[in-house]
C-alpha cells in the first residue's frame, strides 16, 4: 500500500483536531505551525476533509476547524478514502500489463487473489481503526496493533 503525502498530512491535521476537546476549534495557522506545513496546504487538506463531512469550519476572529464527530467515531478508512484511495484489485490488474493492452493473466490469475485479499484486509483494518486510537502513546498503539495482527517478525 502506498501512502501519499496528502493522506499522511491530512491524518496529522486531524490528529491535531482530535487532541483538543470536542467542538473546540484550532486555527489553520496553529495546525500549520505545529506540523511544519504551509497554511495554504493545511487549508486545502481541511477543505477536502470538510467536503467528506469529517470536519467543519467556524469563521471569525476565533475561527478554525473542529471534528464533526468524536475521534472515536472517525475511522482511518474514512480518512484515507476522503484524502485518496486504497488501490483496488481492478486498478492493480489494469495498471501493470507489461507491453500489452491487457494482462495475459486476466482469465486465470492466482496473483489477483493475493491482491484482492490484501486490499480487502487493508480496507477492513483501516475501517476498524479509529482516529482516537492513534492518540495513545506510540508504545500503546504498537502493542494494540500486535494484538490485532500478531507480532511482526523482522527479517
- Tally of structural domains, the chain: 1
Give this prediction's pTM. Answer: 0.84
- Which structural domain, as residue segments, surrounds residue 22? 5-149
- The string of pLDDT tens digits covering residues 7-32 is 999 999 999 999 999 889 999 999 99
- Whether residue 155 lies inside any domain: the answer is no
- Whether residue 21 lies inside any domain: the answer is yes
d(Cα 109, Cα 90) in Å, to the nearest integer? 13
- Whether residue 113 lies inside any domain: the answer is yes
- Whether residue 93 lies inside any domain: the answer is yes
- Whether residue 116 lies inside any domain: the answer is yes
Between the ranges 76-80, 114-118, 139-143, where is the mean pLDDT highest?
76-80
- Whether residue 71 lies inside any domain: the answer is yes
- Whether residue 154 lies inside any domain: the answer is no
- Whether residue 79 lies inside any domain: the answer is yes
**CATH number of the structural domain spanning residue 80:** 1.10.10.10
Amino acid at each position: 500500500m502506498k501512502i501519499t503525502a496528502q493522506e499522511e498530512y491530512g491524518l496529522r491535521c486531524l490528529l491535531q483536531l482530535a487532541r483538543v476537546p470536542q467542538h473546540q476549534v484550532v486555527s489553520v495557522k496553529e495546525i500549520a505551525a505545529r506540523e511544519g506545513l504551509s497554511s495554504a496546504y493545511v487549508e486545502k487538506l481541511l477543505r477536502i476533509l470538510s467536503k467528506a463531512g469529517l470536519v467543519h469550519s467556524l469563521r471569525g476572529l476565533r475561527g478554525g476547524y473542529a471534528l464533526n464527530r468524536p475521534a472515536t467515531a472517525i475511522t482511518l478508512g474514512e480518512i484515507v478514502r476522503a484524502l485518496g484511495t486504497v488501490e483496488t484489485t481492478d486498478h492493480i490488474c489494469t495498471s501493470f500489463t507489461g507491453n500489452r493492452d491487457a494482462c495475459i493473466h486476466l482469465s486465470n490469475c492466482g496473483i489477483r487473489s493475493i491482491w484482492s485479499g490484501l486490499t480487502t484486509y487493508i480496507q477492513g483494518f483501516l475501517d476498524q481503526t479509529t482516529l482516537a486510537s492513534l492518540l495513545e502513546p506510540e508504545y500503546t498503539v504498537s502493542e494494540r496493533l500486535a494484538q490485532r495482527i500478531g507480532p511482526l517478525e523482522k527479517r
